[in-house]
Amino acid sequence: MKWFVPGRLEVLGKHTDYVGGRSLLAAVDRGITIELTESDEPGIVASSTAVEGEQHLVAGTDPQLPKGHWANYVQAVLDRLQLNFGELKPARIVIDSDLPLASGMSSSSALVVAVSLALVDHNGFRERDEWKANVKNDIDLAGYMATMENGLTFGTLEGLRGVGTFGGSEDHTAMLCCHPSQLTEFTFCPIVEGESVDLPDDLTFVVAVSGVLAEKTGAALEHYNSLSINARRLAELWNDATGNEHATVADALASDDDALEGLRAVAAHDEELTRRLNAFVTESQVAIPRAVAALRSGDLEAFGAAADLSHRNADEVLGNQIPETNRLQALAREFGAIGSAGFGAGFGGSVWALVPAEGAAEFGEKWLRAYLVEYPQWEATASIVLTRPGGPARRL
């Protein structure tokens, strides 16, 4: 059997999902294809066309691989499925991808979703009572697959360690629930699908891959996780001060007209918490509603301004941009892009630019050339990708 799982484009929504906020998303027309065949050899034999060699993985057995290795994501899926549903049938899987690695287009989450879908079908888990009780639709499926990475429990399906990232379900939701030729707004904790807006046929996204790998390891992992930890601390401090039991900052904000001032008061003693609150409010409560309204009305200038706000907020307040992504965003606007912003976990990765489809390739070449004049050290890994919103994950 074969499955295709797209990468995702986070148009806006930097570190908002696990806080219960908004994201504006698209599934892209590139992704991961996985082919699964039956095997007589115990465990799962996994290989990737992007790298040499193969890995023999057994659920519940640490493969002793370096942090960030692609097979650790496969192992996390095996361990979680066995914990929740019992022993897995042997299989051989071959993974192919045309997503740039560690670029912000969520190749790692696409791998998790692809392996999960293939193994769930291979083992007939959709027919199990515990599956039917917890996974009733694609929204539930996205939520469950996110917990394979962050290690949380989903309904009655017990959690496990995951892959060491304390992220949310944005990536998995885009891959499973977005629509062709549309950008879709979602809110999270729980996942709720909101408005979808058409992307005009005469526009396309050009993605500049900076060449700086957005790896969730080392200092980048620590900074990435600190954003999640600080969001959680904000909710806990709010609950301690008010006696409420709100799960997220978004829940607290929705509870009362004066909640924002209250949250600012409980965060006032800690500059990091204040910055985390301000970054979330600007992205989720200001930039995304403005962008959706602008697209709905066809006001592309206002859409570009909302994207500028989002990128500036990510750099100056959230603190997850780097000089390379900042320069790419500025160059895109200088060269006439309708809008542009960095996206993904940050600390590397990519920047999107929305441009007319006619001349998009030429725009991308000019953009990349100008960038590499200033950052020639990334010539071997920087690249340009043209993409439009594609369909969700599907069995081939």
CATH code linked to domain 2-197:
3.30.230.10
**HEC profile for the chain?**
CEEEEEEEEEEECCCCHHHCCEEEEEEEEEEEEEEEEECCCCCEEEEECCCCCEEEECCCCCCCCCCCCHHHHHHHHHHHHHHHHCCCCCEEEEEEECCCCCCCCCHHHHHHHHHHHHHHHHHCHHHCHHHHHHCCCHHHHHHHHHHHHHCCCECCECCCCCCCCCCCCHHHHHHHHCCCCEEEEEECCCCEEEEEEECCCCEEEEEEECCCCCCCCHHHHHHHHHHHHHHHHHHHHHHHHHCCCCCCHHHHHHHCCCHHHHHHHHHCCCHHHHHHHHHHHHHHHHHHHHHHHHHHHCCHHHHHHHHHHHHHHHHHHHCCCCHHHHHHHHHHHHCCCCEEEEECCCCCCEEEEEEECCCHHHHHHHHHHHHHHHCHHHCCCCEEEEECECCCCEEC
Report residue 101: phi and psi, to 5°. -75, 145
**Cβ neighbours for 240, distance < 8 A, ≥ 6 positions apart:** none
What does the block give as tokens for 100?
């740039």
CB 363 within 8 A of CB 331: no
Residue 60 confidence (pLDDT): 92
CA distance 235 to 254: 12
CA distance 191 to 328: 32
Report residue 306: phi and psi, to 5°. -65, -40
Residue 102 confidence (pLDDT): 62
Residue 305 confidence (pLDDT): 98
Residue 240 confidence (pLDDT): 95
Would you call 33 exposed, middle or buried from its count of C-beta atoms within 10 A (0-12, 13-18, 19+)?
middle
**Cβ neighbours for 348, distance < 8 A, ≥ 6 positions apart:** 102, 104, 210, 212, 213, 214, 215, 220, 322, 324, 325
Residue 166 confidence (pLDDT): 54
Per-residue pLDDT of the chain (396 residues; tens, 9 = 90+): 999 999 999 999 999 998 999 999 999 999 999 999 999 988 999 998 877 678 999 999 999 998 878 899 999 999 999 999 999 999 999 999 998 776 678 888 999 999 999 999 999 999 999 999 999 999 999 999 999 998 999 999 999 887 755 567 999 999 999 999 999 999 999 999 999 999 999 999 999 999 987 655 455 567 767 888 999 999 999 999 999 999 999 999 999 999 999 999 999 999 999 999 999 999 999 999 999 999 999 999 999 999 999 999 999 999 989 999 999 999 999 999 999 999 976 777 899 999 999 999 999 999 999 999 999 999 999 999 999 999 999 999
State the Rg of the chain over Cα.
21
CA distance 319 to 307: 16
What does the block give as tokens for 332?
């895109």
Residue 217 confidence (pLDDT): 47
Residue 100 confidence (pLDDT): 76
